[in-house]
Structure 1
Amino acid sequence: MYKIGVNIRKVRELRGYSQEYVANKLNISQASYARMESEDTKITVDRLFQIAKILETNVSDFFDNSGINIHSQVYNGEAYCNGYIQNLVVENKDTVNKLIELYKAQLQDKDNQIQYLKSLLAQFTP
């Protein structure tokens, strides 16, 4: 459905990075990284953020142009497919942005818990 691995490869190649370079940054083998790009292995959200950081891009960029690329198909005299596919790409970006917000909220919740535990610890430490 989504070609995230293909888009990751495109961004990596635009940056001039090798698979080995990115794999080393992720502390995995080049073969494991290659399986992510070829979509033989599922990529976790955390791993997606790590890859985006290494490639100096946003996670949402991996979803750009992930729809089927149909430029000239015409249905009843109207460019029907182009608008549909563009809407799919926009919906994918919205989903990614929601995931990012959820991730940030979870991090904030963890920070709050840490602060609370530190305050409890301070109360019981002489």
Structure 2
Amino acid sequence: MDSVIENIKRIRKEKGYSHEYIAHELDISQVAYSKLEKKETKLSVERLYRLAELFEVNVYELLEINVINQFNKEDSIRYSQQLQRFHEENKEQHQKIIQLYEARLRDKDILIEKLEKMIK
């Protein structure tokens, strides 16, 4: 995970983005973003994808995975394990996000149903 954070820092600096700008784009405080780069807080999958989008890079670049040139089997296995660990560390958060979206969809359906009744 350390190399992911190092990649984020490197790309942020290459793009000339400040902590304040990135924090604003992630809708978090500058202090919260600084803690992320200092490895004092965990990077969520959602933020990883948002950073990739913001930096205009593929998420694999942040994870140091070169999809086209994975000739070294040992590296491939290591990266695969790193990706799996990252997924496992954030599994609970993914489930919460899914549950929230499902609840919002149910609320939307109920609201549509009520509005259709009002129209009739």
TM-score bracket for this pair, using the shorter chain length? 0.5 to 0.7
Q: Are residues 1:88 and 2:83 paired?
A: no
Higher deviation after alignment, 38-47 or 20-29? 20-29
TM-score (normalizing by structure 1): 0.56
1:8-31 deviation line (CA, Å, top 9, x unaligned) = 112212322222221232343333
TM-score (normalizing by structure 2): 0.58
1:60, 1:93 within 8 Å by CA — same for their partners in 2? Answer: no
Q: Where do 1:57-68 residues align within 5 Å?
A: 57-64=57-64
State the SS of the aligned residue for 1:125. helix
State the SS of the aligned residue for 2:61. helix
Of 112, 117, 121, which residue of structure 1 is paired with 2:110? 117
Separation (CA, whole Å) in 2 of partners of 1:118 and 1:29: 34
Higher deviation after alignment, 17-26 or 32-41? 17-26
Deviation at 1:36, TM superposition (A): 0.6
Q: Where do 1:43-58 residues align within 5 Å?
A: 43-58=43-58
Counterpart residue number, 1:11? 11
Going from structure 1 to structure 2, the CA distance change for 1:59 and 1:20 (only over 3 Å counts) comes to same
1:70-114 deviation line (CA, Å, top 9, x unaligned) = xxxxxxxxxxxx6323322145457879x8xx79xx498578646
Identity of aligned residues (%): 26
Counterpart residue number, 2:24? 24
RMSD over aligned CA atoms reads: 3.6
Q: Which is greater in Rg?
A: 1
Separation (CA, whole Å) in 2 of partners of 1:119 and 1:28: 33
Which runs of 5 or more residues in structure 1 are unaligned? 66-81
Higher helix share: 2
1:59, 1:96 within 8 Å by CA — same for their partners in 2? Answer: no
- Count of aligned residue pairs for this structure pair: 106
Separation (CA, whole Å) in 2 of partners of 1:27 and 1:116: 28
